A = this chain, B = another copy of it.
């Protein structure tokens, strides 16, 4: 299990595909599964388009519209919407490994999703052979 670290902005999708690919390459595993895991409750991971950066900004905009702050929320830290967004994207992504590389689609990238930054965050990469 390798650990990656990053310093985030307030809210952003950070492309970490190159770092995960490097961890797979260094593991030497040719065929298997790569689990990327986020140990935080107001951040998550998702796989989405790596080509047009407008997709990511549209997604952040849409998640704000989907999860407005509501007066009924009681969580004392006041960041319930960040917890909701984290559960929306999920805390991990699993990607198959083929020929020693992540078997991502052509347009896919792996994104670390910060919903309550800026913070120093981490994620882990676990590589399994089949």
Tell me if A74 is interfacial: C-beta within 8 Å of chain B. Answer: yes
Q: Please judge, given known A-B contacts A58-B75, A66-B66, whether A35 and B91 are in contact too, CB under 8 Å.
A: no
Interface SS of A by simple majority: mixed
Binary B-proximity of A1-35 (CB < 8 A = 1, otherwise 0): 10000000000000000000000000000011101
Contacts of A95 in B (CB 8 A): 37, 92
Q: Assess whether A48 is in contact with B58, with CB atoms less than 8 Å apart.
A: no
Contacts of A124 in B (CB 8 A): 96, 98, 103
Residues of A bordering B, CB below 8 Å: 1, 31-33, 35, 37-41, 46-49, 52, 54-55, 57-59, 61-62, 65-67, 70, 72-77, 80, 83-84, 86-96, 98, 103-108, 124, 126-130
